[in-house]
Amino acid sequence: MQILTNPADSVAAETKSWQQAMRTAIRDTKTLRKRLKLAPDPAAASAAASFGLFAPLPFVDRIAVGDESDPLLLQLLPTAAEDHSPTHFSNDPLQESAATLTTGVLKKYMGRALMIVTGACAIHCRYCFRRHFPYSDNSAGAAHLEKALVSIADDNSIEEVILSGGDPLTVVDRTIDSLFSRLGAIPHLRRIRIHTRLPIMIPSRVTDQLVQTLARCPLEKVVVIHTNHANEIDADVTGGLNRLRSAGALLLNQTVLLKGINDHAPTLIELSKRLLSAGVLPYYLHQLDQVVGAAHFEVPLETGKRLVGDMRAALPGFAVPRYVQEIPGEPNKTVLA
């Protein structure tokens, strides 16, 4: 075991850990299938070419070897079903292009602005509603950051900034720290919200520097993770989530209702229990956004309503997420049950 005596060495080791996990993520189906002892699937080549595989090893190691139906595997494995979508499925199901305030900043709802920090993610979810999003032209990265911050500072109605992407925590700590400082200096902002899967995919992403950045931010901090199945939450994930809470962040979870993955009441009930044990409040259960390539994941609304009813019967009210759907143009998410 390496002993680190210099705090700077410790930070460097942590940073290398999560960044190394990003660099060594599996990016082709042949390698993933070989690692998990699964037979080749030539029919999935088209899906993999149109939306590449990205699977970090800390997450892959939670997938059952030899099980084609593993609920974690199904979230990231390209399949031939992605080549078949109904005509009402679209590349921009939430019509986000119409909500653009400036490059990299969307304003969908009253009082909130969403900043597309980056197009990079720690996993390519096969049901992602932004799988066709034109990140190269619509990201508040270095080239457009100043304009994005000015647009937020000039709109006094904005009280909350949501950092999204991609995944905002794929950005290095020093950039996150700088962004928090810049946002914290805007007088009318009260809250920063981070939407991320990094603490789930790569738990080592919760570095000391990230925790310190959150702790010293004068604004209210909310971290919304995205978890669809209890098997995603192991001891390392729970440890990282506890560190985020120690920095004063409120932790919420949003889940997408997915056919073959979590469309089963005991599965959703166990997920809520596991989240609560990790200090995370179940927040939203999303009806699938109808994006091209994801139709095979869609669960009928009536099934979703029945599942929520089953959850209510088995869990305390605070452990039951709101079953919602985002409808373009509506002033808020629509509660379905």
pLDDT at 14: 52
Tell me the residue length of the chain: 337
pLDDT exceeds 70 at position 61: yes
pLDDT average, residue stretch 235-240: 97
Using alpha carbons only, what angle is made at residue 205 by residues 262 and 113, rounded to the nearest 5 degrees? 75
* Judgement on whether residues 137 and 45 belong to the same structural domain of the protein: no
Of 31, 48, 82, the position where a domain reaches its end is 82
User: What letter does residue 143 receive in the DSSP assignment?
Assistant: T
> Does residue 1 form part of some domain?
no
pLDDT at 139: 67
> Does residue 174 form part of some domain?
yes
* Judgement on whether residues 71 and 110 belong to the same structural domain of the protein: no
* Judgement on whether residues 237 and 326 belong to the same structural domain of the protein: yes
Q: Give the residue carrying structure tokens 């457009």.
A: 144
The answer to whether 116 and 104 are in contact (CB under 8 A) is yes
* Judgement on whether residues 138 and 22 belong to the same structural domain of the protein: no
Of 82, 106, 124, the position where a domain reaches its end is 82
> Does residue 88 form part of some domain?
no
* Judgement on whether residues 125 and 261 belong to the same structural domain of the protein: yes
Integer distance in angstroms from the first to the last C-alpha of the chain? 52
Of 82, 109, 132, the position where a domain reaches its end is 82
Q: Map residue 107 onto helix, strand or coil.
A: coil
Give the tens place of pLDDT for each residue, 265-294.
999 999 999 999 999 999 999 999 999 999
Question: pTM of the entire structure?
Answer: 0.92
> Does residue 167 form part of some domain?
yes
Q: Which of 102, 97, 111 is nearest to 150 (CA)?
A: 102
* Judgement on whether residues 57 and 108 belong to the same structural domain of the protein: no
Q: Which amino acid is at 119?
A: G
pLDDT at 101: 87
> Does residue 89 form part of some domain?
no
Q: Which of 291, 310, 306, 294 is nearest to 260 (CA)?
A: 294
Give the tens place of pLDDT for each residue, 126-184.
999 999 888 777 767 667 789 999 999 999 999 999 999 899 999 999 999 999 999 99
Average pLDDT score, the chain: 92
pLDDT exceeds 70 at position 11: no
CATH number at residue 171: 3.20.20.70
Indicate the helix (H) or strand (E) that contains 215. helix 208-216
pLDDT average, residue stretch 248-253: 98
pLDDT at 299: 98
> Does residue 91 form part of some domain?
no
Specify the number of domains making up the chain: 2
* Judgement on whether residues 240 and 145 belong to the same structural domain of the protein: yes
Enumerate the H helices of the chain as residue ranges: 7-23, 29-35, 45-50, 57-60, 73-76, 145-153, 173-184, 198-201, 208-216, 235-246, 265-277, 301-314
* Judgement on whether residues 73 and 123 belong to the same structural domain of the protein: no
Distance CA 42, CA 27 (A): 16
pLDDT at 98: 84
Structure tokens at 315: 């869990």
DSSP bridge pairs for 105: 102, 115
> Does residue 51 form part of some domain?
yes
* Judgement on whether residues 232 and 169 belong to the same structural domain of the protein: yes
For residue 217, what pLDDT band results from cuts at 50, 70 and 90?
A: very high
Residue percentage of the chain with pLDDT more than 70: 94
Domain of 308? Answer: 96-335
> Does residue 87 form part of some domain?
no
Give the tens place of pLDDT for each residue, 16-49.
699 999 999 999 999 999 999 999 999 999 999 9
For residue 100, what pLDDT band results from cuts at 50, 70 and 90?
A: confident
* Judgement on whether residues 264 and 304 belong to the same structural domain of the protein: yes
* Judgement on whether residues 20 and 129 belong to the same structural domain of the protein: no
Choose between 101 and 292: higher pLDDT.
Answer: 292
* Judgement on whether residues 325 and 290 belong to the same structural domain of the protein: yes
